[in-house]
Amino acid sequence: MDKCSTTELLKATKTKMTDARSKILNILLESETPLTANELHIAVSDSSSIDLATVYRALKVFVEKGLARALHIDGETIYYEKACEHNPLHAHFHCEVCGAVECLNPFGFDESSAFMKMAKDKEISSVELVIKGRCSKCV
Ligand SMILES: [Zn+2]
Ligand SMILES: [Zn+2]
Ligand SMILES: [Zn+2]
């Protein structure tokens, strides 16, 4: 399967299904790059009148249920991306010139065990790693 089904993900995580939630989740599943709440809002409002507060509430639920990751990339805007099997944990690159955010290759077994080792007696709920600099267009 090359894409998760919105309905099945919501069902599997016992998340209440609403029209707005399925639409928002579907955009996250289809996007290859992290999106901000504003970008998601613009994308859903093409087809229906869902307000920004609804988008924020849905995203909060998705993060709690492990369907999405919240990324604190530049300390201001929060970005969201799918957290299903099609999008394993990875670091992000943030261009300090143009603001572009890029997903890097997924962490392999070695990197993952390194994180586990660093936090040995702790319970990890999320790992965020942001590499900053200039992207290839801005060098
Ligand atoms: Zn998926
Ligand atoms: Zn750039
Ligand atoms: Zn990413």
Domain locations in the chain as residue ranges:
1-87, 88-139
pLDDT of residue 34: 96
Query: What's the mean pLDDT when you consider all of the chain?
Result: 93
DSSP class of residue 107 equals: P
Average pLDDT over residues 14-39: 95
pLDDT of residue 132: 96
- CATH fold, domain 1-87, is Arc Repressor Mutant, subunit A (1.10.10)
C-beta atoms surrounding 98 within 10 Å: 10
Distance 54 CA to ligand 2 centre (A): 31
On whether the CB atoms of residues 10 and 68 are closer than 8 A, the answer is no
Distance 25 CA to ligand 3 centre (A): 15
Distance 6 CA to ligand 1 centre (A): 9
- CATH fold, domain 88-139, is Dna Ligase; domain 1 (3.30.1490)
